[in-house]
Amino acid sequence: MNFLRGAIFFLTAMLIQWWWATHFSLAGLAPQLLLILTVVVAARQGPVRAMCLGFGWGLFLDVLNPALFGANALALTLAGYGTGALRRLVDVTGLAPQCVVVFGMTWAYFLALGMIGVVFAKYFVWVGWPAFLFDPFYNCLTAGVLFLFWTDRRVARRLL
């Protein structure tokens, strides 16, 4: 049953990421839900599970935009590893630390995509200034909502 729940979580996250980015982007900006979930899973369950999920989710993102295939998979895997390594030094299970880590990992993710582009495609893959400046805040807001749903089931029941 645990495998089934994990598979449903994995596929539902991909569906929500695609749906939100396609239909509910604000001024072309959408939160990187899969990056946020990779960070949250690494903070709560450890780096190995987050790296596996991040790699799978990254392949999904690479299929959606195959310009530099594998870049998202590598970047999300590194985000899971980085958060897992940070988890050993700092308690990142609270709301404020998770928002700080999501904020930093969003910039690290964008810069990692750019550097992967430099190494493999000989050009810096730039997400653009609006995404670079505003997505970390959008991701933090989304991470806060996810934190409430993940930690307090009573809040989720009241809102639904």
Looking at residue 24, what is its pLDDT? 83
Say what the pTM is: 0.91
Using the predicted structure, report yes or no on whether residue 130 has a pLDDT greater than 60.
Answer: yes
Q: Is the pLDDT of residue 1 over 90?
A: no
Domain for residue 51, yes or no?
A: yes
- The rounded mean pLDDT for the chain is 91
pLDDT tens per residue, range 63-104: 998 889 999 999 999 999 999 999 999 988 888 999 999 999
Range of the domain at 141: 2-18+31-159
* 122 lies in some domain: yes
The count of other CB atoms within 10 Å of the CB of residue 146 is 18
Domain count, the chain: 1
Residue 24 lies in a domain: no
**Where do the H-state alpha helices sit in the chain?**
2-23, 33-45, 47-64, 71-87, 95-121, 129-151, 153-159
In a domain, residue 23? The reply is no
DSSP code at position 26: B
The helices-and-strands tally (H runs, E runs) of the chain is 7, 0
Half-sphere exposure in the Cβ direction for 77 (13 Å, CA): 12
CB 98, CB 43: distance < 8 Å: yes
